[in-house]
Amino acid sequence: MYSKGVDIVSILASKPVLIGLHLGFAILGIDAFLWLLGEVVANAGSATRRLVAASLGLVGYVATWLIGGYYYVTYYGKLVKPIILSGSAPWAHAVSMEAKEHIFLFAVPLAITIFLLARYNAAELDMLGLRKSLMRLCVIAAGIGLSFGAMGFIISAAARFGVTNVIQ
């Protein structure tokens, strides 16, 4: 019996898998930044936990940034955007995607900044007056991630409604 090998690259580059990976890494980043926020609020002494949380947040945001960018260039502009613009909710692109296209530029530098600040121990954060700033940045990073999720939902719904309009 002849068996073809699985082309893992084709599977990973498929539209639904990319969207799932994009969402999964975003959730990882959001959760990690909320974990880091808890560590900083509690003034936890473990620099290791803070670094693990900050590293996971950074990796999550970089991965979702790269995967989302690949999806945008490969699929969104050619396939999804025209469906949304011709559907019943073209504002979804004009508002949600346009916002994501510009705000996403801040996500990775923000995650890097958080990672660099998380390298300080609790005493150093207090001595340098950076503890509250780190907490604020964690809230901003998680908030941006959650707002991106809401905008992604709006964009996906508009694409589904656009396809429904094309079929009718």
- The half-sphere exposure of 108 on its side-chain side, counting CA atoms within 13 A, is 11
Residue 139, CA distances (Å) to 11, 18, 32 in order: 34, 26, 11
Residue 156 lies in a domain: yes
165 has a pLDDT exceeding 60: no
Range of the domain at 38: 13-161
Instruction: Report the number of distinct structural domains present in the chain.
Output: 1
pLDDT in tens, 21-74: 999 999 999 999 999 999 999 987 688 999 999 999 999 999 999 999 999 999
Residue 17 lies in a domain: yes
Predicted pLDDT of residue 114: 98
| Token pair listed for 147 | 């707002």
5 has a pLDDT exceeding 80: no
Residue 60 lies in a domain: yes
Query: Please, what is the average pLDDT of the chain?
Result: 90
Residue 167 lies in a domain: no
**Can you tell me the distance from the alpha carbon of 19 to that of 21, in angstroms, rounded to the nearest whole number?**
6
Predicted pLDDT of residue 4: 66
Residue 3 lies in a domain: no
Residue 20 lies in a domain: yes
pLDDT in tens, 80-124: 899 899 888 889 999 998 899 899 899 999 999 999 999 998 889
Residue 2 lies in a domain: no
| Token pair listed for 8 | 């893992």
Q: Is 127 exposed, middle or buried (0-12, 13-18, 19+ CB in 10 A)?
A: exposed
Residue 89 lies in a domain: yes
11 has a pLDDT exceeding 90: no
pLDDT in tens, 114-151: 999 999 988 899 999 999 999 999 999 999 999 999 99
